[in-house]
């Protein structure tokens, strides 16, 4: 089959002869992919910021597909069902899944790592191949995948596998109270969705900060937010303070995560040493822009094992910090309702549709933020 193939940082090619996946466990299903996306999280893998990302692996944790085959214990899905597959791999039965923390499942990956199983997200997240391919093996097929609701556009469906629940959960973790001022760092798909969802929780003011003008423009239209360019500010923290009468924002959302362009180096005895792979600039700004007693919601992914963090400011201001992988399955029922009733239209963020064979160009373009890209969808050949 055709599949995206990781060859090392910044190098991706198309493998035309990857063996098709097989049922390995009675609860598995094999899904023929109909749509998959490239996510900002994939860029962390692409930039080499996530440990144990192995050569030859196939990324892709956002996909829809048609069930091709099911294991002997799968009862809810049938061959031919058109499904959307949440990015979390979850067993549905462990203590964390019982609390609906499907993004933290205790069974889908070794408890020796922090991360539960995720499709196409390195061996740190279980070593599962992902959906930027013609076929995927889906473990625990009865738990997270659901049939795409009748009448739902496939592009809305594929954005229910990650972007929509993730943006929504970013806003939810912010504990937004009626009238709150919410600041969102990052105007990528996740920040745009978080800003849009902040209104559903009663925000009184939503401010998005990025440096890409085309995305700020998008944030004004899609997220109905005020949007500002940090390159035009002396200091985004002072900007947020000034615009909130020096209080700081009630809620701040970090929808950036580690950024490959901002690694920190130090020269020791003439040798340049890597201090920190991927910057945490947005996180630093976020901690310092939230008001005393406010809430910081960190939805951005920090791939490297450790990051510089302003814990002193957080402690002295008495802020609450909430962070997690989105729990997609938990949020699906209410988000399906928001989409079917027209309150959310996730597919509006899709700017690029390309054949799966052009996946390498898709990564280059998304990494460089060329061609006004917000979200790219990959379409397999049949
Ligand atoms: P993206 O790359 O499209 O967007 C990131 C945006 O941040 C870009 O527009 C970039 O210009 C902007 N940015 C960079 N540095 C900044 C700074 N210092 N201040 C403000 N903006 C800055 O990515 P995306 O798809 O929107 O994903 C955003 C983050 O969310 C990533 O870290 C991704 O891994 C994470 N994510 C988390 C989950 C989860 O479940 N927790 C799920 C999906 C994605
Ligand atoms: Zn994603």
Global ipTM: 0.99
From ligand 2's centre to the CA of 226, what distance in Å?
25
Residue to mutate (ligand 1; options 124, 252, 255, 375; most atoms within 8 A of CB): 255
CA distance 131 to 59: 7
The pLDDT value recorded for residue 316 is 97
Mutate to test the pocket of ligand 1, among 171, 187, 188, 223 (most ligand atoms within 8 A of CB): 188
From the CA of 63, how far away is ligand 2's center (Å)?
Answer: 10
**Is pLDDT of 269 > 90?**
no
**H or E segment and range at residue 237:** helix 236-243
Give Rg (Cα) of the chain. Answer: 20
> Does residue 278 surpass a pLDDT of 70?
no
Model pLDDT for residues 11-33, shown as the tens digit of each residue: 999 999 999 999 999 999 999 99
**Per-residue model confidence (pLDDT) at position 350:** 98
| Predicted local confidence at residue 275, as pLDDT | 61
Task: Please name the residues in contact with 337: beta carbons below 8 A apart, sequence gap of 6 or more.
Answer: none
Give the distance (Å) from ligand 1 centre to CA of residue 365: 15
pTM listed for this prediction:
0.96
Kindly give the distance from the C-alpha atom of residue 252 to the centroid of ligand 2, in angstroms, as a whole number. 21
* Listed ranges 42-51, 92-101, 296-305; the one with the highest mean pLDDT: 92-101
**Does the Cβ of 134 fall within 6 Å of ligand 1?**
no
Residue 285 Cα to ligand 2 midpoint, Å, equals 23
Output the pLDDT for position 164: 98
Instruction: Check pLDDT > 70 for residue 273.
Output: no
Q: Which ligand ends up closest to the CA of 131?
A: 2
Q: Tell me: pLDDT of 185 over 80.
A: yes
pLDDT at 194: 98
Q: How confident is the model at residue 262 (pLDDT cuts 50, 70, 90)?
A: low
Q: Quick check: 224 pLDDT over 80? A: yes
Q: What is the mean pLDDT of the chain?
A: 95
44 lines ligand 1 (CB under 6 A): yes
Residue nearest to ligand 1 atom 23, measured at CA: 40
Q: Could you give the CA distance from residue 257 to residue 313 in angstroms, rounded to a whole number?
A: 19
Whole-angstrom distance, CA of residue 221 vs CA of residue 225: 8
317 Cβ closer than 6 Å to some ligand 1 atom: no
- Whether the per-residue pLDDT at 266 is higher than 90: the answer is no
Residue to substitute in 116, 190, 298 for testing ligand 1 pocket (most ligand atoms within 8 angstroms of CB): 190
Q: Select 3-162+327-379's CATH number: 3.40.190.10, 3.40.30.10, 3.90.180.10, 3.40.50.450.
A: 3.90.180.10
Domain ranges (residues) in the chain: 3-162+327-379, 167-323
Yes or no: say if 225 and 171 are a contact pair by the CB < 8 Å rule.
Answer: no
Span 51-104, pLDDT tens digits: 999 999 999 999 999 999 999 999 999 999 999 999 999 999 999 999 999 999
The answer to whether 132 touches 62, Cβ cutoff 8 Å, is no
Q: Does residue 263 surpass a pLDDT of 80?
A: no
| pLDDT bucket at 382, cuts 50 / 70 / 90 | confident
- Among the atoms of ligand 1, which is closest to the Cα of residue 43? 2
pLDDT at 260 (0 to 100): 72
pLDDT at 174 over 80: yes
**299 contact partners, CB below 8 Å, separation of at least 6:** 166, 167, 169, 170, 173, 190, 194, 253, 254, 255, 323, 324, 326
DSSP state of 357: G
The architecture in CATH of the region 167-323 reads 3-Layer(aba) Sandwich (3.40)
Per residue in 102-133, pLDDT (tens digit) is 999 999 999 999 999 999 999 999 999 999 99
pLDDT at position 236, please? Answer: 93
Interacting residues of 292 by C-beta distance below 8 A, sequence separation 6+: 247, 248, 317, 318, 319
Please give the average per-residue pLDDT across 161-185, as a whole number.
Answer: 98
Please state the φ and ψ torsions of residue 242, each to the nearest 5 degrees: -65, -40
Calculate mean pLDDT across residues 229-236: 92
256 lines ligand 1 (CB under 6 A): yes
Is any ligand 1 atom within 6 A of the Cβ of residue 135?
Answer: no
Closest-CA residue to 34 (of 85, 86, 89, 70): 85
Q: Is the CB of 50 under 6 A from ligand 1?
A: no
Q: 43 CA distance to ligand 2 centroid (A)?
A: 10
Which residue CA neighbors atom 33 of ligand 1 most closely? 41
> Which pLDDT belongs to residue 136?
98
Whether 167-323 and 3-162+327-379 are alike in CATH topology: the answer is no
pLDDT at 271: 74
Mean pLDDT to the nearest integer, 310-336: 97
Q: Which residue has the higher pLDDT, 268 or 286?
A: 286
Distance 129 CA to ligand 1 centre (A): 23
Task: Give percent of the chain with pLDDT exceeding 70.
Answer: 96
C-alpha 118 – ligand 2 centre gap (Å) = 10
d(CA 362, CA 367): 8
Average pLDDT, integer, range 180-205:
98
């Amino acid at each position: 089959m055709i599949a995206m193939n990781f060859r090392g940082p910044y190098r991706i090619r198309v493998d035309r002869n990857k063996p098709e996946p097989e049922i390995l466990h009675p609860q598995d299903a094999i899904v023929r992919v109909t749509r998959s996306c490239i996510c900002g999280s994939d860029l962390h893998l692409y930039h080499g910021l996530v440990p144990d990302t192995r050569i030859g692996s196939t990324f892709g944790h956002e996909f829809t597909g048609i069930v091709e085959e099911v294991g002997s214990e799968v009862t809810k899905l049938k061959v031919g069902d058109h499904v959307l597959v949440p990015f979390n791999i979850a067993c549905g039965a462990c203590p964390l899944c019982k609390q609906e923390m499907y993004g933290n499942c205790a069974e889908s990956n070794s408890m020796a790592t922090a991360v539960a199983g995720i499709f196409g997200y390195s061996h740190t997240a279980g070593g599962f191949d992902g959906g930027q391919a013609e076929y995927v093996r889906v473990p625990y097929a009865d738990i997270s995948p659901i049939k795409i609701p009748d009448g739902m556009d496939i592009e809305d469906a594929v954005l229910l596998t990650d972007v929509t629940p993730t943006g929504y959960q970013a806003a939810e973790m912010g504990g937004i109270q009626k009238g709150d001022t919410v600041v969102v760092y990052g105007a990528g798909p996740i920040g745009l969705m978080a800003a849009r969802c902040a209104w559903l929780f009663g925000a009184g003011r939503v401010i998005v900060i990025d440096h890409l003008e085309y995305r700020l423009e998008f944030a004004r239209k899609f997220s109905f937010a005020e949007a500002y360019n940090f390159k035009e500010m002396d200091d985004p923290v002072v900007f947020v303070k000034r615009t909130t009468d020096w209080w700081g924002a009630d809620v701040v959302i970090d929808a950036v995560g580690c950024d490959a362009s901002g690694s920190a180096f130090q020269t020791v005895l003439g040798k340049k040493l890597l201090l920190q792979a991927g910057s945490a600039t947005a996180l630093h700004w976020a901690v310092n822009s939230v008001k005393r007693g406010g809430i910081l919601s960190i939805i951005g992914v920090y791939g490297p094992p450790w990051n510089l963090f302003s814990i002193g400011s957080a402690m002295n201001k008495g802020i609450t910090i909430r962070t997690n992988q989105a729990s997609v399955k938990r949020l699906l029922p209410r988000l399906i309702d928001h989409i079917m009733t027209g309150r959310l239209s996730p597919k509006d963020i899709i700017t690029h549709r390309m054949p799966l064979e052009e996946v390498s160009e898709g990564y280059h373009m998304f990494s460089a933020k060329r061609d006004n890209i917000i979200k790219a969808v990959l379409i397999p050949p049949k």
